[in-house]
Chains A and B, each alone.
Chain A
Amino acid sequence: MKTILYIIQKEFKQIFRNKGMLPIIFVLPILQLVILSNAATFEVKNIKFGYIDNDHTSTSRALVEKFNASTYFNVLTDFPSEALASAAMLKGEVDVLLEIPNYFERDLQNEKHNALGVTINAIDGAAAGVENVYVSQIVQRFNQNLKVDLMQVSDQQIQPVKIETIPLFWYNETLNYKTFMVPGILVLLVTMITLFLSGMNIVREKEIGTLEQINVTPIKKSQFIIGKLFPFWVIGMGLLTIGLILAKVIFNVPMIGSLPLMYLYTSIYIFVVLGIGLFISNFTETQQQAMFIAWFFTVIFILMSGLFTPIESMPKWAQTITEFNPIKYFVEVMRMVMLKGSNINDILPQLIKTALYAFIMNGLAVWSYRKTN
């Protein structure tokens, strides 16, 4: 036990003396959190909107007016013909094109089925998807209002023909993307920093030659590894704290769930990351190699974590792979606890899987660290 303390003491001194690393550990993550949370949003604003009104009635004008009133759309042009509109879209002058058919008002009043034509420039698929949702929302809301109007004039007994599907965004009612992104990016920071630092740490001693000196001492493998990893575990927890404070102070992210639960989960999660880092360290000879391998895994883990793209939209095989992605669980837990107020029973599956993962990775790391070759 005492031996471990000496190692921890030494590691902390070295970390805090490294003038190049300190800012990387603490300042960069904060910058990243602030910048990424603001920049990495799914909101699409200032959509260039064009329409072709073949109906020219008060109803069709009212529909266009709904788009005009929305903050998401800039109503640009009323195209006289479809050909001109298509040409404009080709040039990139409009992103979304709405075509209102003939007899739009008349059909609506007769409760006949009618179709609006919507064309969306889908070069950026993600943006197109979002734009589609916006358009549907506006049209559906318009539809509903219209029905209410109609019902006033007609028989009260008549039920609306269609069932409304107005989405209700639970746990994030205003669909504030920052609320959604901040917990995710916090996850990234804690993961990346602890993985890179632990991944490069032992390799660095290999490079300098001090590891050989350690290997000829009677120190136990587990003592050395615990002593090495503990400081990074503390740094990881420190980063989480800084991140949570920033999330509250700058982004005013609601924190409905229990803080101790978040810390409990994170403390186990960091062990997974440190175990992976150490494992990488044992199999590489230079910091450069370690860095590349750590980078490779981080990119895969992040892209498959559900942070930027929903896991539900991935192919089945990819979804299976994400089961092995620790970042996925961390993202889920953070979002669940922070925004939904989930309790320990809700996150139990994630907690158990993560703990198992931590156990396996650290076991592998200790096993693969060799004092004698």
Chain B
Amino acid sequence: MSIHISNISKSYKNVKALQDISFDVKAGELFGLIGPDGAGKTTLFRILTTLLIANEGTATVAGFNVVSDYKNIRNSVGYMPGKFSLYQDLTVEENLEFFATIFGTTIEENYELIKDIYVQIEPFKARRAGKLSGGMKQKLALCCALIHKPKVLFLDEPTTGVDPVSRKEFWDMLKRLQQKNITILVSTPYMDEAALCDRIALIQDGKILEIDTPEAIVKHYPKPIYNVSANNMYQLINSLNAYKHNHSVYPFGEFVHYTDNRTDFNPEDLKVYLESKNLSNINIDKTVATIEDTFMELAK
């Protein structure tokens, strides 16, 4: 067991940031913490990386207690905070050397681990970190978090504000790191990244909604979902919201995801209703639930 969290709670003044959180992350697992801003993801990361002490509950990381063994944890985990936290006025190489030095190691010693990532930014090693593009900064930050060969890696929203190309590259790197026996706990507000994790925890308002593999979570979705489309999106949403049998109505790109609260729902009934609302080009097709559908159903 690489991370063990049991009944952790944390409050700031009268805000309950985390309420009775418990879960385990196995050694070598890529575990995702999925939830919007303000869900409590960063607070949990700060507790696990010994930067913050929980009000209640216990947690261990790599076998060390986060309160009593905090010194050992700091040597065996890598942490990449959400905000870019490298020295913008030092060069790529200087940043990396600085982090190697404070962990009592050298770039050469653990070069194998970061090689894959570092070769991509090596051409810019004399450039100041502040002048790098978003994706490059991300890679450099990851190198710095890995330089002391940590057993567990904590990544707090590594892909926020990064474009799709860099996001994809970043996840590919994580997959490769996982093969080197590093346990990874990553948080993200993007539901579409959930499918890339081994297991995920959905979190909102300081509470865990569900923990499972991404495949299992979408299977838990209780109702059949329909993709509905018509000629006018806004009228379609209004009409569906006004339909007395609706269970949920959520716009999803060019469609609306619709679920009905009857067990014997017949799409034809809905089509007739929508036609009566002067909508045309109506299409109603069954579709599969996504992580986002599940999240919204649970958060409802």
Do A and B contact each other directly (Cβ–Cβ < 8 Å)?
A: no
Interface residues of B (CB under 8 A from A): none
Q: Hey, which bits of chain A sit against chain B, CB under 8 A?
A: none
